[in-house]
Structures are given as structure tokens and as C-alpha cells.
Amino acid sequence: MNDQQIKEAFDLALELTKQCGPIVLEGFRNSTKDVASKGRHWDLVTEYDRRVEDVLIEGLKKRFPDHRMLGEESASEANKKEALDQRPTWIIDPIDGTINFVRGVKFIAISVALVVDRELKIGIIYNPCMDELYTAIAGQGTFLNGERVHVSGVDNFKGALIGHEISIASYPAARPHILGRGEELIKECTGLRAFGSAALTLAYISSGNVDAYCIEYLKPWDIAAGAILIREAGGVVMNVNGGEYDILKPDIIAASSEKLAQRMLEIVRQVEERVNPKQ
């Protein structure tokens, strides 16, 4: 896709995302909405997740029938595991922060990203409850409600506000790592915050409200849009082991500066050595 085609794709995705705002708000205010579990008691889905995803995917497919769609609620297991290739691929989370959505907590977001030739080209994160619309096109910067934003640039943990999603400790294998990291982080940073939405936390890094975040055990649609927002705002996104960020296996460290990212990586490794000591 050339630059003009990317811009056309962005304009359509933005229009569709905005169309979904009233659907999300309707569901947010509906205290009797249908809620189901996708297997684990904390992994929820509602009728509104499906409605939003339908609007996005149907609208995008109508204009781009040859594009691949990777949505949280509609992608098959086989499609979720299929490697990225040269096909343009839309990565969609209709409502990130579904537990917040169900319980009436306003930290929720629609998240849409486009990957072309295995590279992120578009990112949109929209929280209609707070009227916050984050957007990015590769090479053009990050915007919040049309105004250019940047990461904070904080490079010292003593001045850093860190996103730390304690609920990931619901996974038994993750528990000692998540709790251990929290213990180490709070010794150094200004404070820890758990918003219950990875997409929004990443968006907040892009606009300088949060400074760093380490997150694992999530899916591509939780991270993709936020990753390009941060990079276009001047921040860092890398693999939790210090390598390149993998769009389809998004175990990441995100930060406002390289120095902050490297300190986060040191803490991750420190806790890993304590949990799984070398023989």
C-alpha cells in the first residue's frame, strides 16, 4: 500500500471507530447487558463487543475485501496463529477493558491497527466514555483529539509513573513474576497504576501521562495500536527479553525513553533470576 492508500485506510477506520462510540456508550449505560465468559471467569465478552467488531470488520471488508482481519471476537484459532505476511492485516479489539465496561468503570477503549508488510502503519485507540481519541499514521506522529502529543521523556524511575497490571497474576505461571516486579518497581518509582486496559495504558504513555509499562500474556489486538502510538510519539517498545517487539506475540516493555526501558528490563531479569534461579 502506498501513502495515499494508507491515508484512505486510516480515514475509513477512523470513521468506523467513531461510529462505534455510541454503541459502546449504550452498552456502558446498560446495566442489564448480556455478559458471558470465554472460559476463564475473568475473561468476559458482551453483545456490545460483537456489535462493535461487526461494524469495524464489515466496514473494512467492504472497502478492502483482500485485507486480512484479526479481531478478538471473530478470529478463528487457526487465523490467530497464522503468521503475518505481505497482506495488509487489521488487528482489532472492539472493547479493551471488558471487565471495566461491565462494571461501569470508564477505562475502556476501541483499538484498531493496520499492519502492512509486517510493519505497523496505523493505530487508533478511542475511549468514548472520556472522549479521548488517539491516532497515529507511521511517520506522521501521534495525536490526541487532533493535537500532537509526545511521550514524557522521563528517564529516571524516581520520577516515573509505571503501569503495572496486577490482574495478570490471575495466571498461576505469571503470579511470582508480576508480584515480584511490583515489589521491585515500587521501591524506585513515583507510583504504580493498573487501569485494566492495556490499550489505554499504552495510549497514556504516548501522551506523557504514564512513563513505562511491562505486560505479558496478552494478544496482538491488546497491544498493536498502542505500540505505534508510542513509537510515533517518541517512545520505545521492545520485547520483554530486550529484543524486537513481535506483533503477534506481544510480551513487551514500553517506555518514554530508552533509559527507562532498559531499567525495566533489568528489573524483569532480576525477578526472573529470583523466581527461576540458575542451577
Q: Which of 53, 73, 96, 165 is catalytic?
A: 96
| List of residues 6+ apart from 62 with CB closer than 8 A | none
- 230-to-81, 109, 146 alpha-carbon distances in Å: 25, 16, 16
Per the CB < 8 A criterion, the answer to whether 114 and 122 are in contact is: yes
Q: Which of 73, 216, 222, 232 is catalytic?
A: 222
Q: Which of 17, 46, 98, 201 is catalytic?
A: 98
Strands 89-96 and 109-116: antiparallel
112, 116, 16, 24: which is closest to 66 by C-alpha? Answer: 116
Of all helices (H) and strands (E), which one includes residue 93? strand 89-96
Is residue 93 annotated as a catalytic residue, yes or no? yes
Per the CB < 8 A criterion, the answer to whether 149 and 206 are in contact is: yes
Q: Which of 53, 72, 165, 232 is catalytic?
A: 72
Q: Which of 49, 53, 73, 93 is catalytic?
A: 93
Is residue 222 annotated as a catalytic residue, yes or no? yes
Is residue 98 annotated as a catalytic residue, yes or no? yes
Is residue 190 annotated as a catalytic residue, yes or no? no
Is residue 223 annotated as a catalytic residue, yes or no? no
Cα separation of 197 and 97, whole Å?
A: 5
Name the residues annotated as catalytic.
Answer: 72, 93, 95-96, 98, 222
